[in-house]
Amino acid sequence: MFLWSVAGVGLMVALAGALAAGPGLLRRNLANLRLALPVALVASTCSILGALLGLYLSSLNPNIIQACLGITIVGIALLLLFSKNTEKPVVTNQDAIGLALGLRGAYWDDGARESVEWKTHRTALGLCLFILVGLLAGMFGLGAGWANVPVLNLLMGVPLKVSVATSKFLLSITDTSAAWIYMNRGCVIPLIGVPSIVGLMLGSLIGVKILAIAKPKIIRYMVIIVLLFAGLKAMDKGFGLGLLG
Amino acid sequence: MSNQNDEALKPTREQFIYANLLIIGVWAGIAILFITYAIYLFGLLPPHVKISVIPSVWAKGVNEFLEITHSPHGWGWVSLLTKGDFLNYIGFVLLALMTILCYLVLVRGYIRQKNWIFATIAILEIVVLSLAASGIFGGGGH
């Protein structure tokens, strides 16, 4: 299949999965609406630009983009692997922007059987990085969870479970704008789109329940493994190695 | 704070409302897509593009695909709702509109609370999503 059809269906699938997971994550207070709203505004605006930029870049050598994307994702996975305290980062002082927006919360961690309080720092820098995240998400027709989670967790100090949950919920907002771009271009093929969308939605409903009870350490390693796989696959494609199929 | 039922651990009212609206839309979307896909696969409504043709054209560029299949772009699919394949767009559009609908409810709540920062953020997001939905940006297909 040509890249446009994969990107079109891919975005709808990512959007649908995020919409399905959203209610469960919001109700459990794992996804935080106040954290998501300003981030989503930045990322969704830029994902429109990214989707339009994707058309221009597709006329260049797409393999260069794939290779750069792959290297970035693998780098993020390694950063997560070697970073300490990612499950519950210690944030001593909240910055002014985080304070003004009320970017703080608490949730009950079923896996660890304890309540966890959190607040953000480096909020301004985080919002700036989400410009780049939105651009890349729109350009590649990706969900951008691979970028949302590290920015929220490693940079802004949000606990890993909240980062994963809020990232998943964020996709329901940021992917909406890019999905409309691809739909308006006729890039969503119902024949493959519908079963993919419905399947992922049902899977997401189950996944939310698993996230709530899973131990944070397991979530951390799952995120790293998925990132490494996605990054190595993109590098394999970008460098034309063909080792991973 | 160690009690699972502690009030501080519970989501805000706006978060609950958003979640409740979303779950209605999600199940409605799944149900609609099941029905419309069955109509499409069983040929209860003739498709605009025959199923057998699709695998032979999806490897082409998007403009070529649209030309060969005489498929519309923008909101042109509305005129093809009597066709089995484009009937599925009802479900796609419902899912793509859910966020805008939830945000409209959020705006009302934030204005009532006089939370002008988040009311502004929500209104701007509605504008961004509506512009994307309108089709004025064309497309970003590869």
DSSP string, A26-87: HHTTSS-HHHHHHHHHHHHHHHHHHHHHHHHHTTS-HHHHHHHHHHHHHHHHHHHHH-SS-S
How much is the mean pLDDT over chain A?
A: 83
For the ranges A140-149, A167-176, A185-194, B105-114, the maximum mean pLDDT occurs at B105-114
CA distance A223 to chain B (A): 25
Q: Please check whether residue A151 touches B, CB under 8 A.
A: no
Cβ–Cβ under 8 Å, residues B101 and B25: yes
- Residue B60 is predicted with a pLDDT of 67
Cβ–Cβ under 8 Å, residues B73 and B66: yes
Q: Is residue A90 part of a domain?
A: yes
CA distance A150 to chain B (A): 23
Cβ–Cβ under 8 Å, residues A86 and A150: no
Q: Is residue B8 part of a domain?
A: no
Q: Is residue B82 part of a domain?
A: yes
Q: Is residue A22 part of a domain?
A: yes
Please give the model's pTM, rounded to 2 decimal places: 0.82
How many domains is chain A built from? 1
Q: Is residue B139 part of a domain?
A: no
Q: Please check whether residue A27 touches B, CB under 8 A.
A: yes
Q: Is residue A121 part of a domain?
A: yes
Closest by CA position to A137, among listed A11, A2, A232? A11
A41, A45, A47, A51: CA torsion to nearest 10:
160
Q: Is residue B75 part of a domain?
A: yes
Q: Is residue A134 part of a domain?
A: yes
- Residue A219 is predicted with a pLDDT of 79
The neighbouring-strand residues paired with A115 are A108
Q: Is residue A243 part of a domain?
A: no
SS3 A118: strand
CA distance A79 to chain B (A): 30
The interface predicted TM-score (ipTM) is 0.85
**Residue type at B66 in one-letter notation:** L
Q: Is residue B1 part of a domain?
A: no
Contacts of B121 in chain A (CB under 8 A): 37-38, 41
Q: Is residue A245 part of a domain?
A: no
- Out of A64-68, A214-218, B32-36, which region has the weakest mean confidence (pLDDT)? A64-68
Q: A182 vs B124: CB contact, 8 Å cut-off? A: no
Q: Is residue B141 part of a domain?
A: no
Residue pLDDT, tens place only, B12-34: 889 999 999 999 999 999 999 99
Q: Is residue A119 part of a domain?
A: yes
Q: Is residue A181 part of a domain?
A: yes
- Residue B142 is predicted with a pLDDT of 29
Q: Is residue B4 part of a domain?
A: no
Residue pLDDT, tens place only, B82-140: 999 999 999 999 999 999 999 999 999 999 999 999 999 999 999 998 988 887 765 43
Cβ–Cβ under 8 Å, residues A182 and B139: yes
Average pLDDT of span A171-180: 84
Residue pLDDT, tens place only, B30-82: 999 999 999 999 999 999 888 888 887 776 666 777 777 777 777 888 888 89
Centroid of chain to Cα B43: 24
Residue with the bigger pLDDT between A160 and A137: it is: A160
Cβ–Cβ under 8 Å, residues B37 and B88: yes
How many domains is chain B built from? 1
Chain B's closest residue to A175, CA to CA, is B96
Residue pLDDT, tens place only, A69-121: 788 778 878 877 887 767 788 888 888 888 889 898 988 887 778 888 899 98
Q: Is residue B111 part of a domain?
A: yes
Domain span at residue B45? Answer: 14-134
